[in-house]
A = this chain, B = another copy of it.
Amino acid sequence: MAEPNNKELPEVIVLGIPWFLKFYGQQFSQNFKLLKPWESSLPLEQFITTHAQSVKAMLCSGGTRVNPSFLSQFPSLRVIVTTSAGLNHMDLSECRRLGISVANAGTIFSEDVADCAVGLLIDVLRKITAADGFVRNGLWPMNVVYPLSSKVGGRKVGLVGLGSIGLKVAKRLEAFGCIISYQSRKKKPVPYPFYPDVHQLATKCDVLVICCALTDQTRHLINKEVLLALGKEGIIINIARGPIINEMELVQCLMQGEIAGAGLDVFENEPNVPEELLSLDNVVLSPHVAYLTEESFQDLYELMSGNLEAFFFNKPLLSPVLDD
């Protein structure tokens, strides 16, 4: 793959403008001829029509909706490599039916996302972002009484989903003295109490950390009833996908004091964040960046590049989701 002649490089259509190309685009272009609609003078639809008949490989991000009508435009497509860990944007059974292999980010974001979940929880409990605003607004010398924050240790934390991220959140929070339990489709070989039902988990916990995949089953899994079960001292952390929570009901519960606070990296209608949240000081808001570190982007570049090289060399994908 070291040939410098761009014409001989294998073609990869890039949809959704994966962020990491802003950092690793040049390195990527040494091995692949990237077909980038945003650099073309053609409108997106026409750009796709121009390349869709022949292109075999696609690099996309979590924002690209890969459904049957989308796929029908690419009769030669054999592999899709998505920069996301989540696969809720893709119709996997249609990919399988068409014989298209899929690779994703696997678990390379798990540590960073788990770190962020814990960071958001400490931040909400210990009011760190609020404290920073207090100091920057000059309130400290004015003898304003700073509100008491809440201890991390001893808190009963319920993990909604116990995959790669959930396990890492559990490990970190145990070191703080938190008491872990979890909800999942099935019981796992871990020492934490298991609740098959999220409402039941909420009644037993002070904190819910959402770390499950977004599927038809988990959409709006966290609704008003679950939030009321969590209770007035309850805190929600979401580093998974926005639509797992009924956002309208969450906003109502936060505004009416039905729960105590939230740390949210994801939202239902990104990049739009409900206006009401912007003025609340018991929430910490983050623009879907829990996975986003220099180190994870280096890893992502290597994994995406490695998957595409593997495909063009007829080798097994490095992080296959379906590999027919």
- Seen from chain A, the residues whose Cβ lies within 8 Å of a Cβ on chain B are 19, 22-23, 111-112, 115-116, 118-120, 122-123, 126-129, 131-132, 134-136, 139-141, 145-146, 148-154, 171-172, 174-177, 270-273, 278, 284-287, 289, 292-297
Distance of A253 Cα from B317 Cα, bound (Å): 46
Some 21 contacts from A to B, beta carbons below 8 A apart, are: A112-B152, A116-B128, A118-B122, A119-B128, A123-B128, A123-B129, A128-B286, A131-B287, A132-B284, A139-B287, A140-B271, A146-B289, A148-B293, A149-B292, A149-B294, A150-B293, A151-B293, A151-B294, A171-B175, A172-B175, A175-B175
Considering the complex, give the chain B residue whose CB is closest to the CB of A116. B126
Q: Which residues of B contact A23 (CB under 8 A)?
A: 148
Closest 3 CB pairs of A and B: A119-B122, A175-B175, A151-B295
Contact A129 B126 (CB under 8 A): no
The residue from B122, B134, B151, B278 contacting A122, defined by CB atoms under 8 A apart: B122
Distance of A118 Cα from B278 Cα, bound (Å): 26
The residue from B132, B270, B292, B297 contacting A285, defined by CB atoms under 8 A apart: B132
Contact B287 A149 (CB under 8 A): no
Distance of A255 Cα from B171 Cα, bound (Å): 36
Contact B285 A135 (CB under 8 A): yes
Q: Which residues of B contact A148 (CB under 8 A)?
A: 23, 292-294, 297
**Given known A141-B271, A271-B140, A292-B146, contact A115–B152 (CB-CB < 8 A):** yes
**Given known A145-B22, A175-B174, contact A134–B287 (CB-CB < 8 A):** yes
The residue from B128, B176, B270, B271 contacting A172, defined by CB atoms under 8 A apart: B176
Q: Which residues of B contact A284 (CB under 8 A)?
A: 128, 132
